[in-house]
């Protein structure tokens, strides 16, 4: 309260200092709440509330988003809920991008024959390297070709006898490159020498290839199924290769499956062969290998 006098020196009535009204303190938070859930029309003002009338004026142009969030507790709470929801959705999407199990098309998964997560510090038993750089580190298999002057591919394999089977493995490119997941016929199964078939994947395409017979000079490898696709460097993908009888199907999450067949694909196989095209600066990583019988 304060007093003042007029020109004649007479005291004037005390006047209470101006205080903001509830409506002046109110910040319009409806723009955010309306974006994510409907307004509760039954909500009413209570005594002592700082809420203004339902007809609200637009906030000042000078008012920033941070001012809204920290001044109004309701919008602060709403914003936190929205951020938590977005983080949850992004985490779920990342988890589903790789590592989630694909289901076979040619049959059903039977007995688990092999599982390898590369949690040690050396190649597991039954694995061997023919050329290139192959090492286990950080729970992942790291592979690449050797130095630029060495033109040989990175070649390595694991022993796992199988016939009708499903092979699943995660992979990730760190740059431009290519990989092959292939199988050979077991000794005595065919007169053919060399690979039986492979799934070839590069950053811009993939295919199922039937390989040539190395004992026949006129024999040539041929792509039985092929498609342009994008495999982004730095992102994990899950590959499932199925072989039942003479049929082969290759699946990668988010991609249209490839399917092929040949009269020799039904034979027994001694294991899995891997080939990698990519220098040390563009290595290809593998993880979570699983092999099932396909019923």
Q: What is the Cα–Cα distance from 209 to 287, expressed in whole angstroms?
A: 23
Tens of pLDDT, residue by residue over 120-150, are: 989 999 999 999 999 999 999 999 998 766 6
For the chain, the domain total comes to: 2
Verify that 265 and 133 share a domain, yes or no: yes
| Residue 262 reports pLDDT greater than 70 | yes
The answer as to whether 229 is a domain residue is: yes
Cα 232 from Cα 234, distance rounded (Å): 6
Instruction: Compute the chain's Rg from CA coordinates.
Output: 33
Can you give the pLDDT at residue 84? 47
Q: Are residues 120 and 218 in the same domain?
A: yes
pLDDT band of residue 32 (cuts 50, 70, 90) is very low
Same domain, 163 and 263: yes
Domain that holds residue 77: 22-40+49-96
Lowest mean pLDDT among 20-34, 46-60, 172-186, 278-292: 20-34
Do 76 and 121 sit in the same domain of this protein? Answer: no
In which band, very low, low, confident or very high, does the pLDDT at 34 lie, cut at 50, 70 and 90? Answer: very low
Residue 116 lies in a domain: yes
For position 286, which CATH number holds?
2.60.120.560
**List of E strands, 55-196:** 109-116, 127-131, 133-137, 140-144, 154-162, 165-173, 178-183
pLDDT tens by residue, 179-232: 999 999 999 998 888 889 999 999 999 999 999 888 888 888 999 999 999 999
Rounded to whole angstroms, what are the CA distances from 3 to 13, 15, 18, 20, 133?
6, 7, 14, 21, 90
Q: Tokens 């992004």 belong to which residue?
A: 90
CA atoms within 13 A on the CB side of 230: 2
């Amino acid at each position: 309260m304060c007093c003042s006098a007029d020109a004649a020196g007479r005291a004037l009535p005390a006047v209470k200092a101006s205080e903001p009204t509830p409506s002046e303190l109110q910040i319009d938070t409806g723009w955010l709440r309306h974006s994510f859930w409907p307004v509760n029309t039954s909500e009413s003002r209570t005594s002592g509330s700082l809420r203004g009338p339902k007809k609200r004026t637009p906030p000042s142009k000078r008012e920033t988003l941070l001012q809204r969030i920290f001044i109004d507790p309701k919008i602060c709470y709403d914003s936190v809920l929205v951020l938590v929801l977005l983080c949850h959705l992004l985490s779920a999407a990342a988890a589903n991008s790789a590592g989630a199990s694909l289901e076979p098309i040619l049959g059903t998964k039977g007995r688990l024959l092999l599982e390898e997560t590369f949690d040690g510090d050396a190649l597991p038993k039954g694995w061997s390297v023919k050329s290139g750089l192959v090492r286990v580190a950080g729970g992942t298999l790291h592979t690449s070709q050797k130095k630029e002057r060495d033109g040989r591919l990175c070649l390595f394999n694991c022993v796992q006898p199988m016939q009708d089977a499903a092979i699943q493995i995660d992979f990730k490119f760190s740059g431009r490159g290519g990989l092959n997941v292939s199988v050979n016929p077991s000794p005595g199964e065919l007169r053919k020498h060399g690979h039986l078939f492979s799934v070839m994947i590069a950053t811009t395409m993939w295919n199922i290839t039937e390989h040539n017979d190395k004992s026949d000079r006129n024999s040539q490898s041929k792509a039985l199924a092929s498609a342009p696709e994008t495999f982004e460097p730095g992102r994990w993908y899950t590959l499932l290769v199925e072989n039942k009888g003479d049929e082969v199907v290759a699946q990668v999450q988010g991609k249209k499956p490839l399917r092929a067949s040949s009269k020799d694909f039904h034979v027994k196989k001694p294991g899995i062969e891997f080939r990698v095209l990519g220098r040390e600066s563009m290595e290809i990583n593998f993880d979570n290998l699983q092999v099932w019988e396909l019923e």
